[in-house]
A and B are shown apart, each in its own frame.
Chain A
Amino acid sequence: MALPLAFFGTFFAYPVAAILLRGLHDGGTWHLGRLGDVLAQSDIRHVLWFTTWQALASTALTLLVALPGAYVFARLDFPGRRLLHAVVTVPFVLPTVVVGTAFLALVGRGGLTDELWGVRLDTTVWAILLAHVFFNYAVVVRTVGGLWAQLDPRQEEAARVLGASRLKAFMTVSLPALGPAVAAAALMVFLFTFTSFGVVQILGGPTFSTLEVEIYRQTSEIFDLTTAAVLTVVQFLAVGAILAVHAWTVRRRESALRLVDASTTARRPRGAGQWALLGGVLTTIAVLLVLPLAVLVQRSLGGTDFAYYRALTSDEGNVFLVPPIEAIGNSLEYAVVATGIAVLIGGLAAAALARRDAGRLVRGFDALLMLPLGVSAVTVGFGFLISLDEPPLDLRSSWILVPLAQALVGVPFVVRTMLPVLRAVDQRLREAAAVLGASPWRVWREVELPLVRRALLVAAGFAFAVSLGEFGATVFIARPDNPTLPVAVARLLGRAGELNYGQAMALSTILMVVCAVALLVLERLRPERSGEL
């Protein structure tokens, strides 16, 4: 518990407090009165309203589209399942500017919907919502699917034997058990879409604006730190309210479940219903997720015999001091370290939170850990800049700041994926092992680890993907001679000319492949022995 607290305090609470203070307490006087002024502006109220409702709508839509996917990945065995499971996570790592581009090929001018039905969705709120589904599909599939795969199917079967219909068995047995995981996924999707930035700007056009965009503008363009601080406080309040709702719905819901090894629960689809479901999910994934990605790949293949890819390896006439291809190594290094930090901190926090005797205070900490998802990257970044500038913590130009900032976003994922599973582990199993003379360490190793291993890997995959795709913090201190993949893509896109554009597409494609391969490798980490418990 101490380590997560120290980490969170040093790298989140302290920097954010510093930048807020700078805005709200300038020249010895408090500007709290500005809170009222800012909230009184109809523009700001409008922005707040739009931010909230688009996030709610995006969350609902994502759950609707992705929950069947979670079931299919958890319970049905079909060829290519693992690969597809990795592929659906790929959108998560792509820079929004690239995804925006790809999405326009789907719903924009001359895009698929335009060709088929003459419908153009860009600059409408629908484009924003669909893109949010695209980005967050994996969140639901991984968080909910991770638990679903481990639920004992025999419980539902028992209910069927006792005369319940298939639907009723699902509603009364599986759904309550999945509740916490669904709530966790919904919370994360909400926080992500609540602080959405690039998607809203690129697909919605300049007429749509979210709080995140306003905070960015006030901080980066107008340099009005007071207004930015007030808006950040507003963001805090909104996120805090959502966290409270989440805590209230989840409490009392989490109960010990019968968990089994995930590899035993997936079966070949049986019956027309399951085949139809599988078909539907695969079609959704093909259209919504794979198609935009395919557009990027296709654009990266222009030129003669992979000209764009070849250009990546030369350091002639490019925007970096090094061949852009070297960004792959940089990204992977950061991602490995960030994943390690996130899994360690998040794992410890989740273990502390999962204890039955965890008090109020600890549960409050659970909510705090989620805050980094709901606070603007620019706020955290500027906070780093003015707070971590004194030895022994002068990290402003140190490489470690990047993985630390990325881990900050990764930790909530680790906690949210681990917690439902950890809480589901039956306390009596631990007690039984302890009675038989096992040390606490051995109890953990023999009883808990096999059960939570899958969740741990899912969590690590998340943290890894977050780090690979993270852009905000990286921009802050990436040195020109060691850009990460998203930074390199953004810089190439910022220049005119075919080779620059082509290289940006090629690097994006490489980023996708790197992400998919890394996740596949991670999921291959099988337990040495899988016994049913």
Chain B
Amino acid sequence: MKKCFAVVVGLGLVALSACGSSDDQPASSEGSKTVTLVSHSSWAVSKPVLAAFEKASGYQVKVLTDGDAGQAVNKAILTKDNPQGDVFFGVDNTLLSRALDNGLFQPYEAKGLARVGTEFQLDADKHRVTPVDYGDVCVNYDKKYFADRKLAPPTSYDDLVKPAYKNLLVTENVSTSSPGLGFLLGTAAKYGDGGWQDYWKKLKANGVEVVDGWDQAYNEVFSGSAGGKKAKGDRPLVVSYASSPPAEVIFAEPKPAEAPTGVVAGTCFRQVEFAGLLSNAKNTAGGKALIDFLIGKEFQQDMPLNMFVYPVLKGAAVPAEFTKYGPAAKSPETMAPAKIAADRDDWVKTWASLVLK
């Protein structure tokens, strides 16, 4: 026991005195060979792809990830005068205005931006952020449930409030869940500022269930997912992503010939994720190279199977499972980041008083 103490105290002192050691040394000069990416916990990339970038550019990439998207953005804003890294990845259109208004990023027009769809470039005149990927929040349905009952699955927001689909939908708490918020914003885009409250009243009357987060909705209550089947989930409709059905195929053992779930095409809301060079980045040259890499072909093609999102680069190949079981929505609902920023908090409050009370 005593020996253990000595070791621990020793360790503590070493660690404290080593806080400034080479490993954690913030890059102090432009010529630094380390570039640091700050992101949320969903960040993922294949090792060889990152290694190839490191080799080609001569930079070592350090990655710091923590928390969900909202938390990660807020932390970056809090530390913007003394940032933890050079590039931030993972601010989406629901948080974009907050990041830009707080001066989180400095302008940089990435090399190869011309090959990125203009519909994703939401800061096209200043280039403070560069789009990297997009995804769609959509209602998923359990194919077997509807086939067994010879009931056609819903196809639109309007369908969800019809008596045929009473007590079938589960969604997430808007105030803490990203897909939950996406679904609300989708209905607000579709029915307008004055109409979405009515829609939600009808949805509530039609027995929508609200649970805390995506995990619970998808893995517990939804009857179509692997987790839900084990947990005796009893709702065949869930607010999730367009890329969830491909995941049900890719991560199944053995792989089924058909996806067990499908996407309700008319209920999608588009989320775009951006990367940006942090305002006080210590290694701007490395940061710029990293952003170029994020919209490069190699990373864009590697991304879907790691993060289950779609590439923004024109001509980037998408895995067959994506095109077959969960293609990106054809005409998703969208909303300007400034509008989201202006109304979001009020809408969340209104939603809570309508739906949770």
**Does A341 interact with chain B (Cβ within 8 Å)?**
yes
CA A304 – CA B254 in complex, angstroms? 9
14 A-B interface contacts by CB (under 8 A): A101-B219, A110-B231, A220-B71, A317-B250, A320-B44, A337-B8, A337-B11, A340-B5, A391-B19, A400-B12, A476-B67, A477-B66, A478-B66, A497-B247
| Interface size in chain A (residues, C-beta < 8 A) | 77
Contact residues in A for B250 (Cβ distance below 8 Å): 317, 497
Q: Are A502 and B226 in contact (CB under 8 A)?
A: yes
Q: Are B234 and A220 in contact (CB under 8 A)?
A: no
Least CB distance from B338 to A in Å reads 16
**Does B175 interact with chain A (Cβ within 8 Å)?**
yes
> Which residues in chain B, 185-221, are within 8 Å of chain A measured between CB atoms?
210-216, 218-221
Report which of A201, A315, A343, A392 forms a contact with B20, defined as CB distance below 8 A: A392
**Does A153 interact with chain B (Cβ within 8 Å)?**
no
Least CB distance from A37 to B in Å reads 15
Report which of B176, B352, B356 forms a contact with A221, defined as CB distance below 8 A: B176
Task: Give a binary string over A496-533; 1 marks a CB under 8 Å from any B CB, 0 the rest.
Answer: 11111110000000000000000000000100000000
Q: Which 6 pairs between the two chains have the least Cβ-Cβ distance?
A: A497-B251, A340-B8, A498-B226, A110-B232, A496-B247, A400-B15
Q: Are A498 and B251 in contact (CB under 8 A)?
A: yes
Report which of A205, A389, A490, A497 forms a contact with B82, defined as CB distance below 8 A: A389
Q: Are A202 and B212 in contact (CB under 8 A)?
A: yes
Q: Are A479 and B65 in contact (CB under 8 A)?
A: yes
Report which of A221, A307, A497 forms a contact with B70, defined as CB distance below 8 A: A221
Least CB distance from A511 to B in Å reads 17
CA A317 – CA B67 in complex, angstroms? 22
Least CB distance from B246 to A in Å reads 9
Contact residues in A for B41 (Cβ distance below 8 Å): 475, 480, 487, 490-491, 494
Least CB distance from A377 to B in Å reads 11
Report which of B9, B16, B67, B173 forms a contact with A220, defined as CB distance below 8 A: B67
Contact residues in A for B42 (Cβ distance below 8 Å): 319, 491, 494
Q: Are A321 and B47 in contact (CB under 8 A)?
A: yes
Q: Are B71 and A207 in contact (CB under 8 A)?
A: no
Least CB distance from B8 to A in Å reads 3
**Does A495 interact with chain B (Cβ within 8 Å)?**
yes
**Does A397 interact with chain B (Cβ within 8 Å)?**
yes
Contact residues in B for A108 (Cβ distance below 8 Å): 220
Least CB distance from A290 to B in Å reads 19
Task: Give a binary string over A465-490; 1 marks a CB under 8 Å from any B CB, 0 the rest.
Answer: 00000000001111111000001001
**Does B336 interact with chain A (Cβ within 8 Å)?**
no
Which of chain A's residues has its CB closest to B23's CB? A398
CA A391 – CA B25 in complex, angstroms? 10
Known A-B contacts: A206-B210, A315-B47. Give 13 more (CB < 8 A). A97-B215, A101-B220, A207-B357, A219-B71, A336-B8, A343-B5, A393-B19, A394-B19, A396-B84, A477-B64, A491-B42, A493-B215, A501-B230
Report which of A110, A311, A398 forms a contact with B24, defined as CB distance below 8 A: A398
Q: Which of B52-60, B72-80, B106-114 contacts A (4 or more CB under 8 A)?
A: B72-80
Contact residues in B for A280 (Cβ distance below 8 Å): none
Q: Are B252 and A499 in contact (CB under 8 A)?
A: yes
Q: Are A109 and B218 in contact (CB under 8 A)?
A: no
Q: Are A400 and B16 in contact (CB under 8 A)?
A: yes
CA A101 – CA B211 in complex, angstroms? 12
CA A477 – CA B250 in complex, angstroms? 30
> Which residues in chain A, 315-357, are within 8 Å of chain B measured between CB atoms?
315, 317, 319-321, 336-337, 340-341, 343-344
Q: Are B218 and A496 in contact (CB under 8 A)?
A: yes
**Does B26 interact with chain A (Cβ within 8 Å)?**
yes
**Does B63 interact with chain A (Cβ within 8 Å)?**
yes
The bracket for how many chain B residues form the interface is 35 or more
Report which of A220, A319, A398 forms a contact with B19, defined as CB distance below 8 A: A398
CA A502 – CA B306 in complex, angstroms? 18
Q: Are B11 and A394 in contact (CB under 8 A)?
A: no
Which of chain A's residues has its CB closest to B44's CB? A319
CA A337 – CA B216 in complex, angstroms? 33
Which of chain B's residues has its CB closest to A304's CB? B253
**Does B225 interact with chain A (Cβ within 8 Å)?**
yes
**Does A223 interact with chain B (Cβ within 8 Å)?**
yes
Q: Are B24 and A475 in contact (CB under 8 A)?
A: no
Least CB distance from B238 to A in Å reads 10
Contact residues in B for A475 (Cβ distance below 8 Å): 41, 66-67
Residues of chain A having any CB pair with chain B under 8 Å: 22, 97, 100-101, 104-105, 108-110, 201-202, 205-207, 213, 216-217, 219-223, 299, 302-304, 307, 311, 315, 317, 319-321, 336-337, 340-341, 343-344, 378, 382, 385-386, 389-400, 456, 475-481, 487, 490-491, 493-502, 525
Q: Are A219 and B74 in contact (CB under 8 A)?
A: yes
Contact residues in A for B176 (Cβ distance below 8 Å): 201, 206, 213, 216-217, 221
**Does B308 interact with chain A (Cβ within 8 Å)?**
yes
Q: Are A205 and B19 in contact (CB under 8 A)?
A: no
Contact residues in A for B356 (Cβ distance below 8 Å): 206-207
Q: Are A340 and B4 in contact (CB under 8 A)?
A: yes
Contact residues in A for B345 (Cβ distance below 8 Å): 222
Least CB distance from B89 to A in Å reads 12
**Does B98 interact with chain A (Cβ within 8 Å)?**
yes
CA A478 – CA B65 in complex, angstroms? 7
CA A217 – CA B349 in complex, angstroms? 12
Q: Are A494 and B84 in contact (CB under 8 A)?
A: no
Contact residues in A for B220 (Cβ distance below 8 Å): 101, 104, 108
Contact residues in B for A337 (Cβ distance below 8 Å): 8, 11-12
**Does B227 interact with chain A (Cβ within 8 Å)?**
yes
Which of chain B's residues has its CB closest to A395's CB? B19
Question: Would A392 and B63 be within 8 Å (CB), given that A220-B70, A497-B251 are in contact?
Answer: no
Which of chain A's residues has its CB closest to B42's CB? A494
Contact residues in B for A219 (Cβ distance below 8 Å): 71, 74
Q: Are A397 and B84 in contact (CB under 8 A)?
A: yes
Task: Give a binary string over B22-46; 1 marks a CB under 8 Å from any A CB, 0 the rest.
Answer: 0010100000000000000111100
Contact residues in A for B308 (Cβ distance below 8 Å): 495-496
**Does B244 interact with chain A (Cβ within 8 Å)?**
yes
Least CB distance from B120 to A in Å reads 23
Least CB distance from A300 to B in Å reads 10
